Chain A
Amino acid sequence: EPEVTQTPSHQVTQMGQEVILRCVPISNHLYFYWYRQILGQKVEFLVSFYNNEISEKSEIFDDQFSVERPDGSNFTLKIRSTKLEDSAMYFCASNGQGKGNEKLFFGSGTQLSVL
């Protein structure tokens, strides 16, 4: 089965630094997502992206966050100035039609640790 690929698997950064988390969605998918899971808490939706623009975002996704599809294959999440509370596992996901009853394909996640 095709896979969503995320790099790096672990990222350690200092508070206030910028980080970029990278994802390669499945090649024929059109809808892309970022979710995160703070240790011990729920997996939370951050943002969805379609046709080179954000289609939906949660309250978590404030001005410190941005997403980009810089080329035909990568999908990135940037945190401009990291805070301690940004420490979490970040999951990228994609699917073909973006419908509410459609399966999401997830990557294995990037564990971000902000010190």
Chain B
Amino acid sequence: GDSVTQMEGPVTLSEEAFLTINCTYTATGYPSLFWYVQYPGEGLQLLLKATKADDKGSNKGFEATYRKETTSFHLEKGSVQVSDSAVYFCALSDSDSGYSTLTFGKGTMLLVSP
């Protein structure tokens, strides 16, 4: 079945550092890929998505590129802020299913210190 693997956390960075959170996936079809973020006390929010190979999703300075050859969707940000501290979830949706049933990774906690 489909699965998502993302790097273990917590990831601890100083403000303005470069961020990479690795995500790889296995899927039988041609999935759509997502990064969701959960800030403390809030629900999961869509951060960015990519629906086909070589697409780049971007939002709030974060980027991720859909790499079919390496089955990866790594999240990057050039300069993190304290306000980026949250849990980040990589996820996929098998578009063939016709429904938005997401398969998630375990989540990676990011802690950014001033």
Contacts and interface: CB of A to CB of B under 8 A. Distances in A.
A103 B46 contact: yes
B45 A106 contact: yes
B95 interface: yes
B99 A104 contact: no
A45 B99 CA distance: 12
Interface of B: 4, 31-32, 36, 41-46, 49, 51, 89, 91, 93-107
18 contacts: A4-B43, A31-B100, A33-B100, A35-B102, A42-B4, A42-B104, A45-B103, A48-B99, A55-B99, A56-B97, A93-B44, A99-B100, A100-B95, A101-B32, A102-B100, A103-B46, A106-B45, A109-B43
B38 to A, nearest CB: 8
Contacts of A101: 32, 49, 51, 93, 95
A104 B49 CA distance: 11
Contact of A99 (B45, B98, B106): B98
Contacts of B91: 43
Contacts of B42: 108
Determine chain B's interface SS by DSSP, over half rule: mixed
A91 interface: yes
Contact of A56 (B41, B44, B89, B101): B101
Nearest to A4: B43
A28 interface: no
B43 to A, nearest CB: 4
Interface in A18-40: 31, 33, 35, 40
Contact of A43 (B49, B93, B99, B104): B104
